[in-house]
Every structure is written in structure tokens, then in C-alpha cells.
Amino acid sequence: MGIKPYVFILIIGAFLSLDVYLVLRYASWGCSVEELIPYAVFLVTAEALSIFSIIRFGQIINPFTIYSVFIYIAGFSFLFVSDRQLGYDFQFSLIMILSVAFFILGGLISMKTYSFSFKNYIPPLSSRLSLAFLLLIFIAGIGVFIMEVRQLGYLPVLNLGNAAVYQDINENDVTPLHNFIVLNSVLPAMFYILFKKKTLRFWQFIALSLVCVFIILNFFSRQIIVLFFFSMLIAYSYYKTIPLLKLFSIGAACIVLFIILGQLRGSSSDEGNEMTVNEFLRDYGDITKPTSIIESYLSLYGAVNFTVGNDIVTKALRDEYMSYGVYSARPIITVLPIDKNAIYPPLYSSYTKIATYVVDPFLDFRWFGVVVLNFLYGFLSMNSFKNYIAKNGEYYIVEWSLFIFCIFMSSFTNFYHMFFVAFFFIVNRIAIK
């Protein structure tokens, strides 16, 4: 991607102007130098990494630009915006720095090495067998959806006026079969691949996708919708380049949808319905600064999670707790008929407490885990991206989408080792590769 020198200078100037504005804005809130310096360092790191990767790959969506979101939120977390936030211990600050450094290092080394693919021991399916397999999965998802709706007692999308819908969904007991419902977030991308292979007609692809969208919308899960968005965007981009303006328009539309879903989930009382979205977020998140709606989301769904992560790490060191790889082995342990609370004590669970992805590697293997696992996250995600842009096979559409999802959700929890992600990899490998 060739950028003329004067354009590059304008881009740098625009970023520096934005940086100065943001630092002055947060200084006016009363943020101390101790808060502003780490924020500025992470901010500049995120921007530099994004600019470098976009110039290097000619692609706005790549492992480094997605990871830059995490880097920025990590820096934003040093600003005391919410009363829920606390200062970080030295160990946790070091975990954050090493996590960022070795993720980037893994990605950089992957850029310099040949792309590779794990050997497929399963004979590849023909297009028709692939369709039959995916339709079987699709029907299973519908069956599980009907079962869960009957258990809930009503169809969520038909009860949007009921403030207790989201709470009922959370309290509705589900089994591991729920993963067949979540799978509907990537099935449309797989159906799109079969449409491009002329195994499906366009109207069939649309009909199947609409059913999938209807199912996932009933659970108001923004995580599932994010995965659906990424997988469809990556699938479409594999066959046709998306203009920059249209890409930004799609992103803006998704942000609006994210906010709308947040309002639907958050309106749990009559008082909440009278508030604006931002007022509700600030009240719910104990935010004391005059934040914009974006800053409120960054605090509530980002910065606060780092405080929780610091608390978990502090308690783990205090109690000399070490998990010896059980978090990395979650995809295997999840399917075993054992007491999960005994394996994953709630006191140290970054998943239930929402404590960012950086905690699990430390709990598993201490500093070795922070270094090695973050290196692997960066290395493997970059390798998947390279296979995708080289068009080494449609298989990499869903694989790269899953890596994007895991990276993008890094400020929440560690999705790299979640069972449903591994399940999606397996389904994708059987059906597409």
C-alpha cells in the first residue's frame, strides 16, 4: 500500500493533534500525571502499530489493528474514570506490558516466516456433503433453540417491552448444547462460501442466514453479534474488496446496533427508561467524569475489567494459587463430567468476573505463560491472517474471523481457550477444509 510522504505526514499530524486533545481533555478532568503518562504511552503505541500494519498489509483489518483496540483500552484503564477503578500493583502492570510486547513480537516474527497450515487428517468433503453436514448442524441449532425458548416460556424478540427479558435469558439454565445456537453466528459465513461455490442459490443463502440471524438476535448477546459481523465481513471481503467508505459505514452501523442492544439490555427499570443511554451507563458504571458515550463504554466494558484482573492476580499471588494449564486446557476440560467450580475457582475466574485475557496465562504458568502464550496468540493470528490474504483456501475465512473475535474481545476475557471457539474451529475444518 503506497502512501505518499505528504499524506503520511498529514496522518501523523492528525493523530498527534488528537493525542494532544485527548491528553488535555483528561487533564481537565483532574487526571494526574501518573495516570496520563501510561495512557499516552499506550495510546501512541496503539496508533503506531495501526499505522505500521495498515501500510505494511494494505488492509485496515489485520491482527495489529484489532489488537490496537486492546492496547488503547489498556491505556485508558489507567485513567480513574469510574469509582470502581483502583490502582494497579507492579506485577499486574508488568503483565499488561509483557502481554502487549510479546503479542506484537509473535506477530512480527510470523510476518517474517512462511505461512503454514496444520495437516488435515479428515478427508475433505465435497461441496454437497459439506452442505449436508452444515444443514445437519443448522437443524440441530434450531432444535436446541426451540428447546430453550420452551424452557424460557416466551420468544424474547416478541417481548422487548418486558424489562426482565435479558435477566430471564441469563437465568435460563442451558446445557453445552447451547453451542449449537451460538454456532449460528458463523453459519451464514459458511453458507456464503457454499453460495460462492454455486452449491447454494442466492435465495437459499439468504433464507438460511435470516433464520440464523433471528436465532442469535433472540439472545441479545453482543458477543455473538460481533462474531457474526466479523465472519460475514471477512467472508465478503475474501471475494470482493470493500471500499473504505463503505467499511466505515458498516462499522458505524454496528456501533449504533451495539448501543441499541445495550439500551434494551440496560432498561431494567422505569427510571432507567427515562435516562439517556450515556446517563444510564454512567450511573450503572459509577462513572464520575463527564464522559462521552464512547468513553462510558470504554470505562464500563474495558477499564473496569483491568481493575478486576489486578484483583485476581493479587489474590492468586497472596494465596499462592497456580492453575498449571487448566485454563489453556478449557476446551477439553469443559466437556468432561467433572465439577467445573473445583477446577476453576470463582475467586480466580477471569471469565465469570470478566477480567481481560491477560489473567489466564499468568494463572496457568506465571511469567512463562505471559510470555509464551501471548507470543503464540500473536504468531498464530498473524499466520491465519497471512493465509487469508493469500487466499490459500476458504477455510481461512472462518478461522481468521475467530482470531479477530478473540483479539477484539481481549478486554473482556480470554476467548482463545473457550470451548465454543474450539468447537467452531472443528466444524469449520470438517465442513470447509
Quick check: 151 and 173 in contact, CB under 8 A? Answer: yes
Report the distance separating Cα 155 and Cα 217, nearest Å.
11
3 state DSSP class of 287? strand
Establish if 143 belongs to a structural domain.
yes
Comparing CA positions, the residue from 352, 339, 308 lying closest to residue 170 is: 352
**Residue 23 belongs to what H/E stretch?**
helix 5-28
Establish if 96 belongs to a structural domain.
no
How buried is 34 (Cβ within 10 angstroms: 0-12 exposed, 13-18 middle, 19+ buried)?
Answer: exposed
CB within 8 A of 67, min separation 6: which ones? Answer: 49, 103, 104, 107, 378, 407, 410
Establish if 201 belongs to a structural domain.
yes
pLDDT of 270 reads 44
Report the distance separating Cα 234 and Cα 120, nearest Å.
23
Domains identified in the chain, total number: 1
Backbone angles phi, psi at 86, to 5 degrees: -130, 165
Residue by residue, what is the 3-state secondary structure of 48-97? HHHHHHHHHHCCCCCHHHHHHHHHHHHHHCCCCCECCCCCCCHHHHHHHH
pLDDT of 46 reads 96
Exposure letters 46-63 (e unless 16+ CB within 10 A, then b)? bbebbbebbeebeebbbb
pLDDT of 70 reads 96
Establish if 184 belongs to a structural domain.
yes
Quick check: 227 and 185 in contact, CB under 8 A? Answer: yes
pLDDT of 261 reads 64
Q: How many separate helices (H) and strands (E) can be counted in the chain?
A: 21, 0
Quick check: 180 and 141 in contact, CB under 8 A? Answer: yes
CB within 8 A of 313, min separation 6: which ones? Answer: 89, 91, 92, 95, 359, 362, 363
Backbone angles phi, psi at 352, to 5 degrees: -70, -30
pLDDT < 70 stretches in the chain: 1-4, 6-7, 159-174, 254-275
Cell triple for 393: 483456501
Report the distance separating Cα 88 and Cα 359, nearest Å.
13
Tell me the residue range of the domain where 146 lies.
130-274+408-431
HSE value, Cβ hemisphere, 13 Å, CA-based, for 233: 24
Q: pTM higher than 0.85, yes or no? A: yes
Establish if 138 belongs to a structural domain.
yes
CB within 8 A of 174, min separation 6: which ones? Answer: 148
Establish if 319 belongs to a structural domain.
no
Quick check: 338 and 347 in contact, CB under 8 A? Answer: no
pLDDT of 220 reads 72
Report the distance separating Cα 335 and Cα 270, nearest Å.
41
Comparing CA positions, the residue from 411, 399, 426 lying closest to residue 331 is: 426
pLDDT of 263 reads 60
Establish if 221 belongs to a structural domain.
yes
Q: What is the CA radius of gyration of the chain?
A: 22
Cα 51–Cα 74–Cα 91 angle in degrees, nearest 5: 125
Backbone angles phi, psi at 252, to 5 degrees: -65, -40
Comparing CA positions, the residue from 300, 272, 276, 277 lying closest to residue 288 is: 300
CB within 8 A of 412, min separation 6: which ones? Answer: 223, 301, 305, 354, 356, 357
Quick check: 33 and 220 in contact, CB under 8 A? Answer: no
Establish if 42 belongs to a structural domain.
no
